[in-house]
């Protein structure tokens, strides 16, 4: 799928017609963060399947809903459920909502996910600030886009995980007494978890955590000129780092266990973002 400017713009206009709010922050909710939507006020929630130009949801049991609402008074667009590359969507489809949120006027994107820990000093259930990423597979979300859709064809993403947002997240975590590691997130296409040899290779390449999401969306954000703050919940140690088998049940269970801390941190970050720009 190759999108045009009109696709992004029409989808954004459609969404803005559903709410009087003008979201300032976009949040992609990974495992464990979904319940943050219960804290929103003035909510309009729309299933992805009802949003103009959003890809059709393949898994009917997976909650996929966009919440437009206020988090502690700050207007946000929160994606509960995301499109994963491993489900068979193209990278462009996976990342399409990010371009739409940019067209809706958001100023900052917060991306969150569950990830396997590669850095041996990490442990299950901790949080990591994403400082950079590694993507080894070839496809890009903007591959094949016409010369200018939301940005330039060739674009620099070396500061997409913006340093000032990282500093803000570290201050927020320190204020709440939440330990926050920092590291590089490696994207693997999945859906299989990695082999121990792949994890050793990623470690050699400088990765601290590994997961199957987020990077397509971050690349789209970089393309559209949208600054990103990324947070991973380390739900398990990656293959071979620990001998324990990796299961989706475990990933979800740890995500749930960390949920309250993770939600508190994101709330503090959003309040600080709003205060900073006020």
Residue 77 in tokens: 């667009």
Output the CA–CA distances (angstroms, integers) from residue 225 to 73, 214, 219, 221, 277, in the order listed.
25, 16, 10, 6, 17
**246 lines the binding site for ligand HPA (CB under 6 A):** yes
Total of chain residues touching ligand HPA, rule CB under 6 A: 14
Query: Secondary structure of the chain: what % helix, strand, coil (to 5)?
Result: 35, 25, 40
Kindly indicate which of the ranges 40-48, 76-84, 109-117, 128-136 contains the residues binding ligand HPA, using the contact rule CB under 6 A.
109-117
User: Of 70 and 246, which has the nearer Cβ to ligand HPA?
Assistant: 246
The DSSP letter of residue 248 is: H
54 near 97, Cβ under 8 Å? yes
Name the CA dihedral angle for 257, 259, 260, 264, rounded to a multiple of 10 degrees. Answer: 150
Output the CA–CA distances (angstroms, integers) from residue 146 to 54, 83, 101, 180, 250, in the order listed.
19, 23, 20, 40, 42
Q: Which residues of 40-60 are buried (b: 16+ CB within 10 A; e: fewer)?
A: beeeeebebeebebbbebeee
Select the residue interacting with ligand HPA from 94, 108, 236, 261 (CB under 6 A).
Answer: 236
Kindly indicate which of the ranges 120-128, 145-153, 218-226, 231-239 contains the residues binding ligand HPA, using the contact rule CB under 6 A.
231-239
Minimum Å gap between C-beta 114 and ligand HPA is 4
User: Of 76 and 212, which has the nearer Cβ to ligand HPA?
Assistant: 212
**33 lines the binding site for ligand HPA (CB under 6 A):** no
**230 lines the binding site for ligand HPA (CB under 6 A):** no
User: Of 44 and 256, which has the nearer Cβ to ligand HPA?
Assistant: 256
Minimum Å gap between C-beta 73 and ligand HPA is 33
Select the residue interacting with ligand HPA from 15, 40, 111, 114 (CB under 6 A).
Answer: 114
**71 lines the binding site for ligand HPA (CB under 6 A):** no
Burial class (CB in 10 A: 0-12, 13-18, 19+), 247: exposed
**90 lines the binding site for ligand HPA (CB under 6 A):** no
Provide the mask over 174-193, with x wherever binding to ligand HPA is found by CB under 6 A and - wherever it is not: --------------x----x
User: Of 180 and 246, which has the nearer Cβ to ligand HPA?
Assistant: 246
Q: 């399409």: which residue's tokens?
A: 96
**212 lines the binding site for ligand HPA (CB under 6 A):** yes
**8 lines the binding site for ligand HPA (CB under 6 A):** no
The DSSP letter of residue 242 is: B
CA distance 133 to 150: 22
What are φ and ψ of residue 3, in 5° steps? -100, 155
**251 lines the binding site for ligand HPA (CB under 6 A):** yes
User: Of 251 and 273, which has the nearer Cβ to ligand HPA?
Assistant: 251
Binding site for ligand HPA (CB under 6 A): 114-116, 188, 193-194, 210-212, 235-236, 238, 246, 251
């Amino acid at each position: 799928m190759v999108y045009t400017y009109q696709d992004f713009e029409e989808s954004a206009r459609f969404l803005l017609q559903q709410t009087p709010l003008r979201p300032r922050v976009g949040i992609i909710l990974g495992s464990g963060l979904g319940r943050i939507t219960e804290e929103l006020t003035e909510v309009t929630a729309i299933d992805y399947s009802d949003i103009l130009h959003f890809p059709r949801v393949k898994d009917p049991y997976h909650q996929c809903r966009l919440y437009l609402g206020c988090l502690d008074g700050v207007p946000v667009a929160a994606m509960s459920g995301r499109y994963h590359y491993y489900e068979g969507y193209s990278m462009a489809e996976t990342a399409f909502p990010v371009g739409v949120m940019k067209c809706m006027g958001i100023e900052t994107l917060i991306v969150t996910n569950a990830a396997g820990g590669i850095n041996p000093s990490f442990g299950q259930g901790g949080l990591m600030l994403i400082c950079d990423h590694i993507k080894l597979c070839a496809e890009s979300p903007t591959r094949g886009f016409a010369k200018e859709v939301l940005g330039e064809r060739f674009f620099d993403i070396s500061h997409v995980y913006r340093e000032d947002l990282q500093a803000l997240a570290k201050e927020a975590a320190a204020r709440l007494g939440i330990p926050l590691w920092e590291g590089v997130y490696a994207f693997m296409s999945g859906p299989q978890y990695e082999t121990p040899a792949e994890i050793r290779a990623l470690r050699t390449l400088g990765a601290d955590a590994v997961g199957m999401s987020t990077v397509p969306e971050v690349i789209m954000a970089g393309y559209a000129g949208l600054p990103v703050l990324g947070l991973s919940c380390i739900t398990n140690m990656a293959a071979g780092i620990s001998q324990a088998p990796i299961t989706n049940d475990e990933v979800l269970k740890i995500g749930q266990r960390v949920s309250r801390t993770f939600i508190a941190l994101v709330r503090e970050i959003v309040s600080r973002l709003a205060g900073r720009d006020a």
